[in-house]
Structure 1
Amino acid sequence: MPQKDPCQKQACAIQKCLQANKYIESLCEDVIQAMRKCCEVHAGENSVCCSGFAKEHKATDTRTVV
């Protein structure tokens, strides 16, 4: 039996919040942030839920700090 995705709970919370708020992302920033944190914690694991967040995180890491 496959293991449950470690961030599935947060992914479901995002969907629930977006549906309740007519897909206005700014009203769900707290649950989106919780998903980002979960994905950071479970970065080395094979999480389908985090696939988009992992790409987003890598894109922001390419900035150069002066």
Structure 2
Amino acid sequence: MPQKDPCQKQACAIQKCLQANKYLESLCEEVIRDMRRCCEAQGGNSVCCSGFKDPKPTEDKSDT
């Protein structure tokens, strides 16, 4: 029997939250943070994390 993905619970929570909130990511920030924490803790041992990338730090776009 295949082992359950360690971050599957968080991945499902994101989908449920997005569906309930008309896919507005800003309303699901907490569950997205939970997923990032899980992916960091698993260090690549989660298939669910394979397509879940941390956002790149935004560069300062001001022209000062």
Could you say which TM-score interval applies, normalised by the shorter chain?
Answer: 0.7 to 0.9
| Contiguous gaps of at least 5 residues in structure 2 | 58-64
* CA apart distance, 1:33: 0.4
* CA apart distance, 1:35: 0.1
The total of aligned residue pairs comes to 58
In structure 2, what residue type is equivalent to 1:35? M
Cα root mean square deviation, aligned: 1.9
Which residue pairs with 1:51 in the alignment? 50
Within the alignment, does 1:36 sit opposite 2:27 as a pair?
no
* CA apart distance, 1:44: 3.8
What secondary structure, in the 3-state scheme, does the structure 2 residue paired with 1:23 have?
A: coil
| Contiguous gaps of at least 5 residues in structure 1 | 62-66
Tell me if structure 1 keeps the 8 A contact 2:44–2:50: no
Structure whose CA Rg is larger: 2
* CA apart distance, 1:60: 3.5
Alignment of 1:3-42 (within 5 A): 3-42=3-42
Percent of residue pairs bearing the same amino acid type: 75
The TM-score normalised by the length of structure 2 is 0.80
In structure 2, what residue type is equivalent to 1:49? C
The TM-score normalised by the length of structure 1 is 0.77
In structure 2, what residue type is equivalent to 1:38? C
In structure 2, what residue type is equivalent to 1:2? P
